[in-house]
A and B are shown apart, each in its own frame.
Chain A
Amino acid sequence: MTYHDIVIIGGGPAGLSAAAAARKAGAQDILILERDNVLGGILNQCIHNGFGLHTFKEELTGPEYASRYIAMVEEEKIPYKLNTIVADISADRKVTYINREEGLVTIQAGAVILAMGCRERPRGALNIPGYRPAGIYSAGTAQRLMNIEGYRVGNEVVILGSGDIGLIMARRMTLEGAKVKVVAELMPYSGGLKRNIVQCLDDYGIPLKLSHTVVQIHGKERLTGVTIAEVDANRTPIPGTEEYYSCDTLLLSVGLIPENELSRGAGISMNRVTSGPNVDDRLETDAEGIYACGNVLHVHDLVDFVSQEAALAGENAAAYVLRAKEPAAAAQGRKVPLSAENGVRYTVPQILNLDTMQDAVTVRFRVADVYKDRYISVYYDDKRVSKKKKKVLAPGEMEQVVLKKSSFAEYPDLGKITICTEVE
């Protein structure tokens, strides 16, 4: 069986950044497995700009951002296989992949980095009643058909869900001459970034109807229209508020789901809120030597944070395989759980190792609702150790706190770290 020090599953932004960082940290034998026919992942179809403000201090398009990382991988001569789908990963890091040239192959990895990204929630998951005609697309599928394949998907458009891809596609289709009639959002707030609402809807006069959803799909062959209704606080449609919109296209931007079939197959413990693996501060899952980063770990808002997180996974995977070649100062130490409470939906990582952690660990999370003038507080056991006031907190934007190793010196018997929102 062929062996590689680090096998990275996925050649999108997370996989590429992890590969570059692992090489920088001294790992020589790295292999990237990518299912598409090019590297870069979903960035390739994100031809709008706004990527890289944090990482490169300039505004790049998705393909430009991807090309920077692809260039790093090429320069470092890190090998990759395209059109290669991973069929199975085992807890002892055997990776089975399949492609046209080699057929079915199993390799042994010293470390595995999970970087498979996420997929869109389909219509079926929403149980929208009505017919099942052509013309209903998840926003990303429409984005691919337009930006990669060069086809127009429709002329009159309604968008359900105000996730970022939906907002971006509202602008994209408008620029291509389609009429985007409305964006309906089930929740009383948008799931997308504020800047996208301004730049993609407001600037084009596209109405955003909060607390609204599609209650009926019309048209037997191709979509002919949808009925939209307002919903009450329990997200139940309010009778009498129905409005009909004629359209030939319905785009869905109703959430992203990390693609963790392989992780589950390896028996890795999963987090119910993120739908990603539970990880410690080195982004290692509970399967030794298997790391996770990017949207497969939790859905990010900005690719810059994906790159940062993935770089950390790459460094740690490199350290793991390099360490394994000498006697291990193994990963013992005091492991403390992070708890997300009172308006904080989850944290990544979920576990912090006080002894082996880096000097500073970034904890990322999202909040459960739109909050104004709240504090983000950190507790070590029952003691509040920090609070930071935020004017607005919204579920569409990822938040973070940084925990310093030095801050734990006074807490030798720490049992729990809590991250929460507080009114005061």
Chain B
Amino acid sequence: MRDLQYDVAIIGGGVTGSAIARELSRYDLNVCLLESAEDVCSGTSKANSAIVHAGFDAASGSMMAKMNVEGNRLMEQLSKDLDFPFRRNGSLVLCFSEEDMPGLQALYVRGVENGVPGVRIISGDEARAMEPNLTDEVVAALYAPTGGIVCPFNMTVALAENAADNGVEFRFLSEVTEVKPIEGGYELSVEGKEPVTAAYIVNAAGVYADRFHNMVSREKITITPRKGDYCLLDQEAGHHVDKTIFQLPGKYGKGVLVTPTVHGNLLIGPTARDIDDKEGTYTTAEELAEVTSKSARGVKNIPYRQVITSFSGLRAHEAGHEFILGEVKDAEGFFDAAGIESPGLSSAPAIGVYLADMIAAKAGAAKKEHFIATRKGIPHVAAMDREERAALLKERPDYGTIVCRCENVSEGEIVDSIRRTLGARSLDGIKRRVRQGMGRCQAGFCTPRTMEILSRETGIPMEEICKNRPGSEMITGKMEEV
């Protein structure tokens, strides 16, 4: 048998791939993760609703339902172990007419069947008492106290960092172009780089998962990018609602959600348009208008003049609307984590455990003796109390130089985001780790300084500093000396 480089190769460094990598790193396995972008969290994981669903949505008995409820349950401890922001703010599904009550009732029943704790139907007035900005149109709501919100960037980064700390090798800018069965495993062709061989493959490629699945299996699957536009509002608007507010799909179609984020902004969206382009993360005027008009039905007086950015994300919608998890029948050793659309973020912790255990069993791998179970996030000085902050500043004076004024991000935090495990190599990478440029000026003031710090810390020349992947260079050169 020929020597394979790795026991397991994971395709895709989104939240799903990173969660699987982290759970696999508990085992005595030689694992690598291949990501086409320059950083983890660069596809679907970076542009979504950032919520942890309670788990009443998916059909009872489905993998979606199981993974969602279990992922929700695991999230709290995981967020503590890996130090990423998560808050159980609860969620409401709004019902706007008596006609639609059976739909709300069905959702409640499904919630109970799926094992969602504490789910109950409340009246419109009770809902308005909880959330004073709900409209008078609301006649009833499904309340799920276990709904939550999470930072998808920090969650993904935390999972990936912890996996790397436990020995998983991350290869960035490594786009897999071909998967070929070889003796004892698979060979992955990588664009512009040496091929990679591994005994087991995990397909966590998001909107591209059908491409890789279909390379090894006769039973084809189709993943359609389902585009959703969002508006993000200033932190001044962040208290407009406290819970995540969904709308019950009714005769007006599917609504949009309104939710606070863990960082105190208000997020509204998404729309849903099936498109062909797997990189089509563009917003459209029609969809942004749809976000505004639909949200107004459930939540009144949303201060849209406080929008600080809009963005679009792609959900990896599989034709059967189900997570495809497990070994592909006609491709031994090739494991899918495909069709991971909503509630994928909520489910990631459970999917990680589920697939890692399955692969470890197949490989006959034992658990490591010295697994590092925790990871500490980058300190955020602005959120610290006075004493804590003063103590930190004594040790690390660069935490006292504020670079991003809107989000109060210090030079020390930016330096940390670059220097630590799987450190940032692009401006977006820094932004997702420490929120530099996430605020109301949208990096107007801090871009030049952040570029300098990134260049200084990494040795990347200023002209080659990118917003994200190569091709997104920020500047075109030095000015000629006069």
Contacts and interface: CB of A to CB of B under 8 A. Distances in A.
B60 interface: no
Contacts of A153: 474-476
B129 interface: no
Contact of B389 (A104, A124, A146): A104
A151 B475 contact: yes
B402 interface: yes
B288 A104 contact: no
A122 interface: yes
A269 interface: no
Interface string B434-469: 000000111111011000100000000011001111
A130 B283 contact: yes
Given A101-B397, A119-B444, A144-B448, A152 B477 contact: yes
Contacts of B307: 124-125, 127
B473 A222 contact: yes
Contacts of B62: none
Query: DSSP majority for the B interface?
Result: mixed
A395 interface: no
B5 interface: no
Nearest to B309: A124
A24 B283 CA distance: 55
A168 B471 CA distance: 28
A127 B288 contact: yes
Interface in B365-399: 381-382, 386, 389-390, 393-394, 397-398
A127 B279 contact: no
A87 B283 CA distance: 35
A140 B471 CA distance: 23
B475 to A, nearest CB: 4
Given A98-B400, A103-B394, A120 B441 contact: yes
Nearest to A259: B405
B468 A129 contact: no
Interface stretch (A70-78, A131-139, A290-298, A304-312): A131-139
B309 A123 contact: yes
A222 B408 CA distance: 28
A154 B476 contact: yes
A124 B310 contact: yes
Given A129-B282, A129-B288, A152-B479, A104 B386 contact: yes
B462 A151 contact: yes
Given A85-B405, A98-B402, A99-B401, A141 B476 contact: no
Contacts of B452: 149
Contacts of A87: 382, 408
B281 interface: yes
A2 to B, nearest CB: 16
Contacts of A176: 479
B311 interface: yes
Given A123-B309, A151-B463, A152-B475, 14 more contacts: A35-B402, A98-B393, A102-B400, A103-B389, A127-B310, A134-B472, A135-B474, A141-B447, A149-B448, A151-B462, A151-B475, A151-B477, A152-B476, A222-B472
- The 6 A-B pairs with the shortest beta carbon distances in the complex, nearest first, are A124-B309, A221-B471, A122-B442, A103-B393, A134-B467, A221-B472
Interface of B: 231-232, 279, 281-285, 287-288, 307-311, 381-382, 386, 389-390, 393-394, 397-398, 400-402, 405, 408, 440-445, 447-448, 452, 462-463, 466-479
